[in-house]
Structure 1
Amino acid sequence: MASRTPRELIELYWTEVWNNRNADLIRELCSDPIIRHDPNSTTALSLEDQIARVKQQSEAAEPYFEHEVLLADDTYVTSVWNMHTRKGDRVELCGIEVFKAVDGKFTDCWNSSYVAGRWGREGDVSVPQNLPAPTMISSLDQVTPEWLQAVFQHAGIDSPRISLSRSVPIGHGNLSVTGRTAITYNANAEEGIRSVVCKITTDIAAAADIAATQDVYRREASAYAFFGAQTPFATPRCYWSKAGADGRTLNLVLQDLSQTTRAVSQVEGCSPAEAVAVGAELARLHTAYWDHPDLGSAAWLLDRKRGASHSADVQLAAAAAFRDRFGNRVASGCLDAIDHFARRAEQDILNLPVGKALIHGEPRVDNVLFEDLPSGPRAWLIDWQFASLGSPMFDLAYFLSGSLEPADRRAVEEGMIKAHQAAIAVCDPAYSLDQARREFKASLPIALHFSVGAVLAIPPGDLEDRLLSTLVERNVSALIDWDCLAS
């Protein structure tokens, strides 16, 4: 009998072996073994393995294959196929397979990745208009083209079909994992979003516990939802924000500013000019939502005073852990100051000034990106996990006490307080410079609380230890300058 051609083999393979469930015909169609080629791997399948595979899948789902495109020569045959199941819930897949035939039998098969759905035909829309909302994901490798497509559709963004996405980790967030995802489309996308920043749940168990206890994921997702697509101050646009009901999961998809902004090392600290830019942006935030009617009863905002007793217990534990970890590397006076403020943590929190501003709550310099403009740097505020209602001086004190070297802080501190007070006075003429200074001083201990408390979430390491020790040394320096130890 003459050898079957590659075209004849593929017709029998799809029609008889799969559609008619005649798995034993594989003995006539395939070599023993056939080599299956997948991305980065090969698998040798014996005749018995092939037959067992087909029988298993046929019994479970009864797949039915159809050629969309079929092309063959004397050695190779290519099938662009659609498949649907006939048993159970209908499932549709499509793919491309290339087979090599020698002496009338298939010896090799190259498989593309199977994709849900069928191959598009003339008249089909590029992107369906009714995609379901994105599901919650837990790792960067789950940021797929399909997931991003749903994100953009539900953000009201008209986007061509996304064909590829590639995510790489960025940053050193304590309570979340952040990645930059590059996006490729199957059409001209000159105006399309070429990349996004995805922020998801941390993979550090202790940090996840802290995030859940302090409800930081729901708070950040709610903050971005409150801001909307356009903000009166510089913060990245949020395309998608969702937090899990259990408080332990977060999905944010944000505008990627990496091509137009730069980060500044928290350890190195920012320059005086950069500090002034941060102060100006914080003032825009504080004045934009001053005494906003929707914030007075917003349940998502952090209420520090309500959790003061628990926070005090955490501070005592953190102070002990900090001394154990840094006892030989941080000056004894600094360690004594940590212990001093840990003992009075509850009172420091309860003494925080009541304010009318929406505050960032954690404006360290590594929660800021800088855009270099002809007029000088502009600051973009990121990370809203500790947003609260409070004094505008809280943000300024927190930022200045941890993000600059003490000499640089002293050089700009008074001028920045005056500029900030003047901006707030436009909204509230009763807000005086004396009040601003009192609120600034009362807020300084909280920056130290945050820095010391981070020891419970950040594992030891050269960079991590240098970061924590630098922060507390700067915090203590500011507390000494403002005579807070004697208060």
Structure 2
Amino acid sequence: MTVPVAIPRFPDDVTPQWLTGVLAPASGTQVGRADVTAIGTGQTGATYRVKVDYTANPAGLPETFVIKLPSTDDTVRDRVVLGYRSECAFYQSVADRVSVPIPQCFHCEISEDAADYALLLTDQAPAAQGDQIAGCSAEEARLAAIAIAGLHAPTWAEQEWLSFPGLAMTMTDDAAKKGLGDVAVMSADITVDKLGDKLSEQDRATFLEAMGLVTPWLQNDFGRFSLIHGDYRLDNLLFHPTGGQVWVVDWQTLGVGLPSRDLAYFTGTSLEPALRAEIERDLVAAYHAALVEQGVGDYDLETCWQDYRYGVLQVLLISALGFAFAIGTDRGDDMVATMLRRGCAAIRDLDTVALIRETAGL
């Protein structure tokens, strides 16, 4: 059977015929029935669980999958098509070259204009998405710290990624960095106004001061770079309920930058300040050990720690960029306020503003 041309846009389009078409070429699979139910938040796309009954399953394929389709909201889809392109590029061109734990991809397809795409993945249930507002445990944080090294180490200092066409955001020249710095200042003002008294006076001051330093922060990456997830936080991680396993999802913000930005963003958004301060040295050490084990050389633990301190500005930047220009919801407001509260505490605890100023000679 030939693969159907049409990319499914709605759940009703995920038919047994379409599934047979995308699964059969490698396995001779025949799908007799497919039940599709919505899961996830649907903020930038529509995610569904697909339960299938086979009439032929010689390869022993799973009985459930997860499929990601574009958002059903046209205004959202128009805004995030670059993210769709980035996620498909990750699964098509990066996934097989890194060791970060991810769901297996069975099919990835995207239209030329990136407005339509379909990503068919293994269903990791009973693994569950992390809760961004509740935060995570020390054990879960350690899993996440080690996992992201599996993206950074295999792509460490590899020049090809600087021009990889699947990047959601490229910051390869000073003009682009200044442009993002200007947008960061604007987004900070908008975010403060939208959140109102959800941010304390101290956090507002920290937030606005730090966001004013985004341009010099981007201009000084110390010559260290790798592919980065870009939005590495609890909402984009799946944890197995028995512990010991995590999977990283939602690759719509793939970029290149100082590797420690991902780790600092995770700890700064996902851990309450007291717990973060207690365990972050150990987390950085575990992350560094994983890098070294996977082949990163000439990178000592103290340098990794200083990079981590420097990278925590990622918390404020990504939180503000994602929030300032999006349609607000009660949960969304609470989530971003929580992330900024934790992130501002990390900025102060780690003295990141002073480090950025010192590095930039300000």
8 A contact 1:394–1:440 mirrored in 2: yes
Q: Structure 2: which amino acid aligns with 1:158?
A: G
What is aligned with 1:201?
70
CA 450–296 in structure 1, closer or farther in 2 if over 3 Å, else same: closer
Rounded to whole Å, the distance in 2 between the matches of 1:205 and 1:331 is 35
Q: Structure 2 residue aligned with 1:183, among 22, 35, 52?
A: 52
Query: 1:345 Cα shift?
Result: 2.4
Query: 1:268 Cα shift?
Result: 0.3
8 A contact 1:177–1:199 mirrored in 2: yes
* % identical aligned pairs: 25
Rounded to whole Å, the distance in 2 between the matches of 1:446 and 1:481 is 15
CA 358–434 in structure 1, closer or farther in 2 if over 3 Å, else same: same
8 A contact 1:221–1:242 mirrored in 2: yes
Length-normalised TM-score, structure 2: 0.87
Rounded to whole Å, the distance in 1 between the matches of 2:138 and 2:255 is 26
CA 230–347 in structure 1, closer or farther in 2 if over 3 Å, else same: closer
Q: Structure 1: which amino acid aligns with 2:235?
A: D
Rounded to whole Å, the distance in 2 between the matches of 1:385 and 1:324 is 27
SS at 2:299's partner residue? Answer: coil
SS at 2:353's partner residue? Answer: coil
Question: For each residue in 1:98-151, what CA deviation from the matched residue of structure 2 results, as whole angstroms up to 9, or x when unmatched?
Answer: xxxxxxxxxxxxxxxxxxxxxxxxxxxxxx3xx135422322232121121222
Mean Cα displacement is larger for which, 302-311 or 442-451? 302-311
Q: Structure 2: which amino acid aligns with 1:140?
A: P
- Residue 300, structure 1, aligned to residue 171, structure 2: no
- Residue 341, structure 1, aligned to residue 210, structure 2: yes
**Structure 1 residues 102-117: aligned runs within 5 Å:** none
- Residue 148, structure 1, aligned to residue 16, structure 2: no
Rounded to whole Å, the distance in 1 between the matches of 2:74 and 2:337 is 23
Query: 1:470 Cα shift?
Result: 0.6
- Residue 422, structure 1, aligned to residue 285, structure 2: no
Q: CA RMSD in A?
A: 2.5
Rounded to whole Å, the distance in 2 between the matches of 1:362 and 1:279 is 14
- Residue 360, structure 1, aligned to residue 229, structure 2: yes
Query: 1:253 Cα shift?
Result: 1.1
8 A contact 1:175–1:201 mirrored in 2: yes
Rounded to whole Å, the distance in 2 between the matches of 1:323 and 1:205 is 27
What is aligned with 2:360?
none
8 A contact 2:105–2:120 mirrored in 1: yes
- Residue 401, structure 1, aligned to residue 268, structure 2: yes
The total of aligned residue pairs comes to 351
Query: 1:327 Cα shift?
Result: 1.2
Mean Cα displacement is larger for which, 226-235 or 168-177? 226-235
SS at 1:186's partner residue? Answer: strand
What is aligned with 2:147?
281
Rounded to whole Å, the distance in 1 between the matches of 2:43 and 2:213 is 25
- Residue 167, structure 1, aligned to residue 36, structure 2: yes
Q: Structure 2: which amino acid aligns with 1:358?
A: L
Q: Structure 2: which amino acid aligns with 1:275?
A: A
What is aligned with 1:485?
353
- Residue 192, structure 1, aligned to residue 58, structure 2: no
What is aligned with 1:461?
329
Q: Structure 2: which amino acid aligns with 1:246?
A: D
Structure with the bigger RCO (C-alpha within 8 Å, sep 6+) is 2
Length-normalised TM-score, structure 1: 0.66
**Structure 1 residues 10-409: aligned runs within 5 Å:** 128=1, 131-154=2-25, 156-159=26-29, 161-187=30-56, 191-212=60-81, 215-227=82-94, 232-259=99-126, 261-292=127-158, 295-301=161-167, 302-306=169-173, 307-372=176-241, 376-409=243-276
CA 171–326 in structure 1, closer or farther in 2 if over 3 Å, else same: same
Rounded to whole Å, the distance in 1 between the matches of 2:202 and 2:139 is 31
Query: 1:190 Cα shift?
Result: 9.4
Query: 1:221 Cα shift?
Result: 0.4
Q: Judging by fraction of residues, say which structure has more helix.
A: 2
Query: 1:474 Cα shift?
Result: 0.9
Question: For each residue in 1:340-380, what CA deviation from the matched residue of structure 2 results, as whole angstroms up to 9, or x when unmatched?
Answer: 2333322222233443433222110111111245xx42211
CA 239–276 in structure 1, closer or farther in 2 if over 3 Å, else same: same
SS at 2:199's partner residue? Answer: coil
Larger Rg: 1
8 A contact 2:284–2:305 mirrored in 1: yes
Question: For each residue in 1:382-440, what CA deviation from the matched residue of structure 2 results, as whole angstroms up to 9, or x when unmatched?
Answer: 11112233333121111111011111211221011122223323423310123212221
Give the gaps of 5 or more residues in structure 1: 1-127
Q: Judging by fraction of residues, say which structure has more strand.
A: 1
Q: Structure 2: which amino acid aligns with 1:342?
A: M
8 A contact 1:276–1:412 mirrored in 2: no
